[in-house]
Amino acid sequence: MKTLLTLLALCLPALAHAGDAVRPKHAIDLSNPYSTDNVPTYAGDHAAVHAYIDAEIEAHVAALQRWMRQRSISALNVGVLDMAEMVRDDFKALGFAEAELVETGGHPGVWGFYDAGAERTLMVYMMYDVQPVNPEDWRSPPFAAEIVEVPEGRAIMARGATNQKGPQRAFLNAVESILAVDGKLPVNLMITAEGEEELGSPHYPEIIDRYEDRLRQADGVIFPMSGQDPAGQTGVVLGVKGIIYWELESKGGAWGGPTEAEIHGSFKAIADSPVLRLTKAISSLVGEDGNTILVDGYYDGVRPPTAEEQSLIAGYLEQQDDAMLRQMLGVERWIDGMEGVDVLHDLIYAPSMNVDGIWAGYTGEGVKTILPHMATAKMDSRLPVGMDPQEALAKIRAHLDTHGFEDVEMNVLAAYPASQTSVSASLVQAAIGVYKRYGQAPTVNPRVAGSAPFYEFTERLGLPMIPFGLGHGRGAHAPNEVYVVESSGNVAGLAEIEKAYVDLLYAFAAD
């Protein structure tokens, strides 16, 4: 297997598409695969706390249900303030030294500080808002938080069950259990909870602003989450790509085309088409393959793989099968027919250029002949480590201008850089050690292709950051969202989830 992958790595340059620009491909040394075998399994003994959790499990499930029954739909401003106050009051009930709402330009945040007088401080990112629901699509009412049977065991069904109230309140149950048995926590806690995650976190930076000096004193950040797939497998994700997201809009104007409304399609013989103009503008951004980005200097900033990353890629490759990913996504062939390490390379290091949506003119059934006066596309580009989002946007704008598309408007909706945590960070080592204690051989993914604004933690506050948690849930942003609380096999139930959080706090403190 390894030999084959090494060969593939050597073949990489040949796989890149020819053209004006070449997609960046870096040789990946696969000879030194990272393995969690060398990370010591966490061995601390917290039997009394664990026993407390087992004894209190019914109350702990009820605490999750209490959070899930409190609506907090940020998009509709339903129950948001009530939920924020519930979170704050829960912090107070746990004995936090500070527990307060944080005013922002949008829904309030919640700040909590638990002062254990400990040497180390763990920052916890939380979100207390949820997505909207269509209740008629649910088999149990979305805010009833009833216990239902699922293939993996018994679960709570509710909006927010796994995204993210279940894992977060499970974390607080763990905190409560330590306090009940040991009297104090092994680490200090700084918790920032926002009520606008589902809106794209537009005001979360304001919460960081408020406590920035304090937060810089933390030693790491976790985001409590359901980290197990249905087979029980966990993974540690060390990074995310950045993203820029913008709309391109072409309208008739001084350059030509109808300016006020669509006109009869027959006038295309004498009038320019904003739709064709947008099509040309988008088309100019990529080569004939639809993948190679032709924007001048776009690939310049991409930071090549570090030795640690190459080792992580080599290790991750041994546990991954890109053919299974293709099958899961319904893709018959990756770009250029690539496989194996090349796929992983591009997920991590390739800046992408994507059209998320496009619309103009008549989109109904049959024949309607119009020359539309405007056309719009939504586009995004994922940025690997090293690329600056504002620079990337400026290069795209410059490309459009130099290609004669000065009149095509560019409206930026999101822009933030990638985020990266080192596997050597003590928080990460602690997390792996705890996972191993629960029978896991967690995959370690150097960076996923998706984006999240984790740069706030890693780049701005300079802290290592990982999502963490045993447990399984699904249905985020969909009907019938569930969070498993009692396992019939592969995945952890709530008691085990909470025990792992207990262990993580102690492991992080001891490191």
Of 370, 465, 451, 374, the residue nearest 418 (C-alpha): 451
Which amino acid is located at 436 in the chain? K
Listed ranges 224-232, 308-316, 343-351, 498-506: which one lies at the site for its own copies (CB under 8 A): 343-351
User: Is residue 347 a contact residue for its own copies (CB under 8 A)?
Assistant: yes
Give me the amino acid identity at 362.
Y
8 binds its own copies (CB under 8 A): no
Q: How far is the CB of 254 from its own copies (least distance, A)?
A: 5
Residue 247 or residue 459: which is nearer to its own copies going by CB?
A: 247
Task: Give min distance, CB of 91 to its own copies, in A.
Answer: 31
Rounded least distance, CB 44 to its own copies, Å: 37
**Binding of residue 369 to its own copies (CB under 8 A):** yes
Q: Based on C-alpha coordinates, what's the Rg of the chain? A: 25
Does position 184 bind its own copies by CB under 8 A? Answer: no
Does the footprint of its own copies cover residue 358 (CB under 8 A)?
yes
Q: Does 350 bind its own copies (CB under 8 A)?
A: yes
Give φ, ψ of 371 to 5 degrees: -110, 100
From residue 408 to residue 447, what is the string marking binding to its own copies with x (rule CB under 8 A)?
Answer: -----xx---------------------------------
Site for its own copies in 282-341 (CB under 8 A): 282-283, 286, 288-291, 329-335, 338
Report if residue 256 touches its own copies, rule: CB under 8 A. Answer: yes
Q: Is 478 in the site for its own copies (CB under 8 A)?
A: no
For the chain, the farthest-separated pair of C-alpha atoms sits apart, in whole angstroms, at 83
The crossing angle, in degrees rounded to 10, of helices 166-182 and 47-55 is: 120
Q: Are strands 482-487 and 473-474 parallel, antiparallel or unpaired?
A: antiparallel
Question: Under the criterion CB under 8 A, does residue 476 sit at the interface with its own copies?
Answer: no
Site for its own copies in 450-469 (CB under 8 A): 450-451
Q: Which of residues 82-101 bind its own copies (CB under 8 A)?
A: none
Q: Are 98 and 121 spatial neighbours (Cβ–Cβ below 8 Å)?
A: no
Q: At what angle do helices 166-182 and 57-69 cross, to 10 degrees?
A: 140
CB 53 within 8 A of CB 173: yes
Smallest gap from Cβ 300 to its own copies, in A, equals: 18
- List residues bridging with 382 in a β-sheet: 243
Phi/psi of residue 276, nearest 5 degrees: -65, -35
Q: Which is nearer to its own copies, 27 or 271 (CB)?
A: 271
Contact between 281 and 400 under an 8 Å Cβ cutoff? The reply is yes
Please, what's the b/e burial string for 164-186 (b: 16 or more CB within 10 A of its CB; e: otherwise)? bbbbbbbbbbbbbbbbebeeebb
The one-character DSSP state at 21 is S
Which of 375/425 has CB closer to its own copies?
375
* Cβ at position 153, least distance to its own copies in Å: 27
- As measured in angstroms, the least distance from the Cβ of 404 to its own copies is 7
Count residues near its own copies (CB under 8 A).
Answer: 82
Rounded CA separation 105/101 (Å): 13
Of 46, 71, 120, 373, the one binding its own copies (CB under 8 A) is 373
Q: Which residues between 216 and 245 bind its own copies (CB under 8 A)?
A: 241, 243, 245
Q: Are β-strands 121-127 and 188-194 bridged in parallel, bridged antiparallel, or unpaired?
A: parallel
Pick out residues in 258-287 that bind its own copies (CB under 8 A): 258-261, 263-273, 275-277, 279-280, 282-283, 286
Q: What minimum distance in Å lies between the beta carbon of 461 and its own copies?
A: 24
CA-to-CA distance for 176 and 502, rounded, in angstroms?
10
Residues 383-412 that bind its own copies (CB under 8 A): 404
- Give the orientation angle of helix 57-69 with respect to helix 494-510, to 10 degrees: 100
